[in-house]
Structure formats: C-alpha cells, structure tokens
Amino acid sequence: MIIPFSVTFPSGQPTDFVGKIWAGLLNDDDFVINNRDRAAFLEGCQNRNLIYDDVLSFDEYRLLYKPKRHTIRIDKPERWHVGSKIHMVVFNRSKKVFQFAPVLECKCVQDIFITNIQGRFEISIDDKYQYNIDALAKNDGFDAADHMRQFFFPKNSKCDEFKGKIIHWTDLKY
C-alpha cells in the first residue's frame, strides 16, 4: 500500500523525511539492497532535491539525518497488517509522484493514542503509557517531543487527541 510523505511541515519547514528514512534503512542490518538499485533511488532523490546532492556514503547519512524508523497514521479501516507491502512516495496524487525507496514490508503495527489536554502531552502505545516521548518523536522524524506536539496539535486546534497506528518497517517496537 502507498504511504505518502510530506516534504514540508505545515509551517513550511522541510521534513527531510526522505533522507531520514534512508538513514534508518541504511542503519538497519536486515535491510538489503544491491548497489545499483541503491544508487538509482538515491540519484532519483537527489534529482528531485529530496536529499543533499553530495550525500552518498552511509557515514554521511548518519551525520546529516536522524533515522526515521516508522510513521504514525490514522487507520480507520484497519488496512495495515504485518506483511503488508509499503510503497513510500512523495508528491502523491500528482504528476510528480515518486517512490523514493524500494518496496518494504510492514513488520509491526501498534496502536497509538496521543493527547494534549491542559498543556499535558501524553502518549500511550498498545495501552502502555510512554515515558520517553522524545525518543518516539525522533524515531518518527521529529526534532523533539515538542515538535511532534506542534504537528499533531497546531495552535488554535480544537482537537486534543489523536488515535492511530504506528506502522513499522524496521524491527523497532515499543
């Protein structure tokens, strides 16, 4: 199934999700891709200004990007399951649509519940309260927990809770 990723946050700031996802893939011992396919994906990303032009080595990815290891989505029809194929794209539903990574397999799906009530930002995963929200936020591509809070609950938002799924393409689990 297709998972579209934004290239900018609502604030206009770049997400760098493509580079962060590649950093996570290249850091995963279970991820295998031949050099030709890897070069083709990276060249396609560079041609679309999705990653820095001069980044080609694993060490450079580790320095420039913090790995994004999963994504958080609303999944009302319950369509995501272990074994589902993941097609990661940017510019979805446009002529510029681009699949920036090889087809991956969903390794885990977890329930997530996020609240922002009276200034308290709290998260539970599979009904377990999470104490290290900063680590979760960074693994989802945010700079810190507050950045994640601003994304899910922007200023003047009337919403104070979010219920969804964490879709994992690595072995990480909370």
Is residue 173, in this structure, part of any structural domain at all?
Answer: no
Strand-strand pairing, 120-125 and 128-129: antiparallel
Is residue 129, in this structure, part of any structural domain at all?
Answer: yes
pLDDT of residue 50: 82
What mean pLDDT comes out for the span 116-138? Answer: 95
The residue type at 24 = G
What mean pLDDT comes out for the span 91-97? Answer: 93
Is residue 174, in this structure, part of any structural domain at all?
Answer: no
d(CA 40, CA 35): 9
pLDDT of residue 76: 84
Burial group, residue 82, by CB count within 10 angstroms (0-12, 13-18, 19+): exposed
* 8 phi and psi angles, rounded to 5 deg: -135, 150
d(CA 127, CA 150): 23
Residue 128 lies in domain: 2-168
Mean pLDDT computed over every residue of the chain: 90
Is residue 13, in this structure, part of any structural domain at all?
Answer: yes
The C-alpha torsion from 54 through 58 and 59 to 62, rounded to 10°, is: 90
Residue ranges in 55-125 assigned as alpha helix (H): 58-64
Predicted confidence (pLDDT) per residue in 10-56, tens digit? 889 999 999 899 888 887 777 888 878 877 887 888 888 887 666 55
d(CA 35, CA 45): 15
d(CA 5, CA 98): 10
Count of the separate structural domains present in the chain: 1
pLDDT of residue 29: 77
Is residue 24, in this structure, part of any structural domain at all?
Answer: yes
Is residue 121, in this structure, part of any structural domain at all?
Answer: yes
Is residue 151, in this structure, part of any structural domain at all?
Answer: yes
d(CA 92, CA 88): 10
